Amino acid sequence: MSLDASDIEKIAHLARLEIAPESIERYAADLSNILDLVAQMDAVDTTGVEPMAHPLHMSQRLRPDRVSEHDRRELFQAIAPLTEDGLYLVPKVID
Amino acid sequence: MQNKSIAQMAAELRLRTYSSVELTRHYLERIARLDRRLNSFISVASESALAAAERADRAIASGDAGPLAGIPIAHKDIFCTAGIKTSCGSRMLDNFVAPYDATVVERLAAAGAVVLGKTNMDEFAMGSSNETSYYGPVHNPWDADRVPGGSSGGSAAAVAARLCAAATGTDTGGSIRQPAALCGITGIKPTYGRCSRWGMIAFASSLDQAGVLARSAADAACLLDEMAGFDPRDSTSADVDVPDYVDALDDDIAGLRIGLPKEYFGEGLDPRVAASVQDAIKEYERLGAKVKEISLPNSPLSVPVYYVVAPAECSSNLARFDGVRYGHRCENPKDLEDLYKRSRAEGFGAEVQRRVMIGTYVLSAGYYDAYYLKAQKIRHLIADDFTRAFEDVDVIMGPTAPTTAFELGAKMDDPVAMYLNDIYTIATNLAGLPGMSIPVEPVDGLPVGLQIIGNYFQEARLLNVAHRFQHVTHWHQGAPSGFE
């Protein structure tokens, strides 16, 4: 499996990572090597094998629909980079 | 003082031979004096440690002390601790002080343990050498030019160097067992779901499990007794009774059936490591165990499967780091996309970015079936191999890592070579099984680990099997020169 520069740019965009143009080649080589390692899976016949959804084959536990958590917005927002009136601030999205 | 067992320290604290404040000061002094050579701590919490030690001394005096009252430990910097920075080894969280304690932290505190600080680790637990940390590599106390293993490399080095009585760690693909092996200490990764993941920063949620790094199986049992158990706040926490691990340590192991997977003794294993592991297995035979060769035919596929499943889950888990709610935020973002992209590119190191990209790729439209679904199917085959093996044997043994500790920088330019270092540990995580590493005879002065894998929820048996070995051998007592 070999990834080229445009593949890397597309993946980095999907992953929301800014990558420097000079490191694209290196990422292409590293990621291609990792995918070569992963390609060993292709030799295995998995017809009829169920994918493993949980190591202990447990199903998702649900809790009763009751209020269990209380408002701690101030505490949680105290570590945010930028907030105002209880809201997180980001650059303007809509003009 | 630092060479005593946890049980002995606990007993002497109760007899007031020394106080927890004295014991805590002793460890803080060792950290201040010796950790410059190792870089095993990211944060040292002297003030809160001494305050906790005073509380422990008062509890001991009034007779209502918990089982670990006054015992100084350290937490891997992946566990959230209210009031002490939790960096996860990343620039992304260099400014992060969690608003709450992880369940594991809370339980150990409730048992009276004193937290000396937070240990260094590979960034977001992604690495096998502790070289991907934003805070610089950790040095192996047995040879400062070598790695301690990873990702719990700081915890392993700190325990081996006697800078804390024991430490917590996490293991997603070998991150407790491999550094324990490379640093000559005892490490246990319990069954998936045995210890709560709540407040433990997520890497790969279907594989991550908290555990202990300690100087002996008996010490590890003391901590695991307090850490293990159901937690309603972790949706994958196992609601299964927890036996008393300390009580089971001395059980007889005559007749124990040990399986040796032939795949774990093949090509790639250093013959000197193999010889050391074989000698340890002979010791088990002298203790009355029966050994047979078994096969885990799909285990060679563990590494490829892992490098689909773990990056896929990591890319999803690390999507939360967006520069908005906490963690690193870039300067002067020109729009929202720029805020995301630059905050993440500046906050994450190279290995984390590689894994996020692999994970993003294998989960992207058109590739899901070929990668993630295929990997989850083979994962089932790998787990079935173990289920079959455990019909005939009680535990599985083999090497923890293919070699002793390698030199710093030796594998940093070749991610795939680094990944192969976890070839014997990964299958256990994929299957969700508990595993341990205990020190056996060193090779050229460098530690070697024997891996012991058990069936689901058989941690008591593993600790017992490890303890019986440590009862008749002394490898676990060796201290690196300069840290005795």
- How far apart are the C-alpha atoms of A46 and B237, rounded to whole Å? 29
Residue A56 confidence (pLDDT):
81
Judged by CB atoms closer than 8 Å, whether chains meet at B341 and A34 is answered as: no
Judged by CB atoms closer than 8 Å, whether chains meet at B340 and A81 is answered as: no
Higher-confidence residue: B310 or B412? B310
- Cβ-Cβ contacts under 8 Å, B192 against chain A: 55-56
Residue A93 confidence (pLDDT):
82
- Cβ-Cβ contacts under 8 Å, A39 against chain B: 304
Would you call B100 exposed, middle or buried from its count of C-beta atoms within 10 A (0-12, 13-18, 19+)? middle
Q: Which residues are CB-contacts of A67 (< 8 A; sequence separation ≥ 6)?
A: none
Residue B248 confidence (pLDDT):
97
Mean pLDDT calculated for residue range B440-464: 98
Give the amino acid at B204.
A
B265-274 contacts: CB < 8 A, separation 24 or more?
Answer: B265/B398, B265/B399, B268/B402, B268/B420, B268/B423, B269/B399, B269/B402, B270/B402, B270/B403, B270/B404, B270/B443, B272/B443, B272/B444, B273/B399, B273/B401, B273/B402, B273/B403, B273/B404, B273/B443, B273/B448, B274/B399
For residue range B320-353, what is the model confidence (pLDDT) as tens digits? 999 999 999 999 999 999 999 999 999 999 999 9
Residue A68 confidence (pLDDT):
86
Residue B281 confidence (pLDDT):
98
Show the tokens assigned to B455: 């069936």
Residues 12-31 of A with CB under 8 A from B: 12, 14-19, 27, 30-31
- Cβ-Cβ contacts under 8 Å, B322 against chain A: 16
For residue range B203-245, what is the model confidence (pLDDT) as tens digits? 999 999 999 999 999 999 999 999 999 999 999 999 999 999 9
Catalytic residue among B20, B40, B76, B118: B76
Q: How far is A81 from chain B (nearest CA, A)?
A: 6
Checking if the pLDDT of A61 tops 90, the result is no
Mean pLDDT calculated for residue range B125-146: 98
Of residues B464, B445, B299, B260, the one with CA closest to residue B381 = B299
3-state DSSP assignment of residue B207: coil
- How far apart are the C-alpha atoms of B323 and B320, rounded to whole Å? 9
Asked whether the beta carbons of B197 and B237 are under 8 A apart, the reply is yes
Choose from B361, B411, B423 for mutation: most chain A CBs within 10 A.
Answer: B361
Q: How far is B286 from chain A (nearest CA, A)?
A: 35
Residue B416 confidence (pLDDT):
87
Judged by CB atoms closer than 8 Å, whether chains meet at B326 and A91 is answered as: no
State the average pLDDT for chain A: 92
Q: Residue A30 is nearest to which of B319, B354, B380, comparing CB atoms?
A: B354
Asked whether the beta carbons of B204 and B314 are under 8 A apart, the reply is yes
Q: Residue A16 is nearest to which of B341, B371, B380, comparing CB atoms?
A: B341
Checking if the pLDDT of A1 tops 80, the result is no
Residue B63 confidence (pLDDT):
94
What beta strand segments (E) does B251-320 contain? 257-261, 290-294
Q: Which residues are CB-contacts of A50 (< 8 A; sequence separation ≥ 6)?
A: B377, B380
Asked whether the beta carbons of B357 and A33 are under 8 A apart, the reply is no
Neighbours of B65 (CB within 10 A): 21
Q: Residue A46 is nearest to which of B193, B356, B378, comparing CB atoms?
A: B378
Residue A78 confidence (pLDDT):
95
Of residues B231, B261, B257, B370, the one with CA closest to residue B308 = B370
For residue range B258-282, what is the model confidence (pLDDT) as tens digits? 999 999 999 899 999 999 999 999 9
Show the tokens assigned to B277: 């592991």
Looking at the DSSP bridge assignments, the partners of residue B74 are B117, B167
- Cβ-Cβ contacts under 8 Å, A3 against chain B: 361
Query: What are the helix and strand counts (H, E) for chain A?
Result: 3, 2
pTM > 0.95: yes or no: yes
- How far apart are the C-alpha atoms of B127 and B174, rounded to whole Å? 10
Show the tokens assigned to B135: 């805070």
Q: Which DSSP state fits B171? A: E
Confidence band of B287 (pLDDT split at 50, 70, 90): very high
Q: Is B344 on the interface with A (CB under 8 A)?
A: yes
ipTM summary value? 0.95
Residue A60 confidence (pLDDT):
80
Looking at the DSSP bridge assignments, the partners of residue B292 are B259
Residues 33-52 of A with CB under 8 A from B: 33-42, 44, 46, 49-52
Mean pLDDT calculated for residue range B93-108: 97
State the average pLDDT for chain B: 97
- Cβ-Cβ contacts under 8 Å, A15 against chain B: 315, 344, 353, 356-357, 359-360
- CA atoms lying within 13 Å on the CB side of residue B132: 29
Mean pLDDT calculated for residue range A27-37: 95
Checking if the pLDDT of B192 tops 80, the result is yes
Question: What percent of chain B clears pLDDT 90, i.e. is strictly above it?
Answer: 97
B341 is catalytic: no
- Which helix (H) or strand (E) is B396 found in, with range? strand B395-399
Q: What are phi and psi of B161, to 5 degrees?
A: -85, 5
Choose from A1, A17, A22, A73 for mutation: most chain B CBs within 10 A.
Answer: A17
- CA atoms lying within 13 Å on the CB side of residue B287: 25
A5-43: CATH class? mainly alpha
Higher-confidence residue: B148 or A93? B148
- How far apart are the C-alpha atoms of B124 and B314, rounded to whole Å? 9
The residue whose two tokens read 């505190």 is B109
B151 is catalytic: yes
% helix, strand, coil for chain A, step of 5: 40, 5, 55
Give me the CATH code for the B6-255 domain, please.
3.90.1300.10
- Cβ-Cβ contacts under 8 Å, A16 against chain B: 319, 322, 337, 340-341, 344
Checking if the pLDDT of B201 tops 90, the result is yes
Show the tokens assigned to B471: 């009862």
B76 is catalytic: yes
Residue A54 confidence (pLDDT):
81
- Chain A, nearest residue to B299 by Cα: A41
Q: Which residues are CB-contacts of B355 (< 8 A; sequence separation ≥ 6)?
A: B126, B310, B311, B314, B315
Asked whether the beta carbons of B352 and B90 are under 8 A apart, the reply is yes
Q: How far is CA B198 from the centre of its chain?
A: 16
Q: How far is B433 from chain A (nearest CA, A)?
A: 8
For residue range A8-20, what is the model confidence (pLDDT) as tens digits? 999 999 999 999 9
Q: Which DSSP state fits B84? A: B
Residue A69 confidence (pLDDT):
85
Judged by CB atoms closer than 8 Å, whether chains meet at A52 and B348 is answered as: no
Confidence band of A55 (pLDDT split at 50, 70, 90): confident
Catalytic residue among B151, B152, B155, B216: B151
Where are chain B's structural domains? 6-255
Residues 256-315 of B with CB under 8 A from A: 298, 300-301, 303-305, 307-308, 315
Confidence band of B97 (pLDDT split at 50, 70, 90): very high
